[in-house]
Amino acid sequence: MSNPPDYKDISSSERTPLVEWLLNIIAEQQKIIDKLSSKVCQLELHVENLDEQLLVAKKLKGQPKIRPSTLNQREEPPISAKKRAGSEKRSKKTSFVADEERVIEPVELPFGSKFNGDREYDLQDLLLKRHNIRFLLAEYVTDDGKTIVGKLPEEYQGHYGVTLRGFILYQHHQCRVPQPIIVEQTQ
């Protein structure tokens, strides 16, 4: 489709009232188009400004920088000397308390060897052992023949201690150990 001829090129003999009316409409539309075109340019600048403000407010850096693949390269990229925050190791022996110390001598020792000190090797373990308590309940007889006996503390009612009952309940409910295995453990 070719461009229409410029309306200024229309001769005055061809300018009828209808043509004049159409030319006026075209001129008004051209003014509106120019006005809207400048408005669109202003709005585009405003949107770009708002986008920049939004990136600053969200603390975004814009488009990410994507580096080329290093799969086919033979050289290793240099690793920075900085460590990641929180990756430093801490000593775990500061809170370690030894309940028992054992000295272990070498099995065979050549003649003339000199003692160089002890090398520490820490081991953590859990000790479960039986602890039976025999309560001697004092018994008194009154003058009228009644017997008065000392009372057990509440936590020792029944024949099993608090720790043993807690261990059995923990094993059964938390660890889902079946009852026959618990009976086997406690005998």
| pLDDT of amino acid 78 | 59
Phi, psi of 76 (to 5 degrees): -80, 135
Question: Which residues in the chain come in under a pLDDT of 70?
Answer: 1-8, 61-62, 75-83, 86, 92-93, 125-126
Cβ neighbours for 185, distance < 8 A, ≥ 6 positions apart: 171, 177
Cβ neighbours for 133, distance < 8 A, ≥ 6 positions apart: 156, 161
Q: What is the 3-state secondary structure (H, E, C) of 36-92?
A: HHHHHHHHHHHHHHHHHHHHHHCCCCCCCCCCCCCCCCCCCCCCCCCCCCCCCCCCC
For 120-131, what is each residue's pLDDT tens digit? 877 776 677 777
| Residue in the structure block whose two tokens are 């580096």 | 67
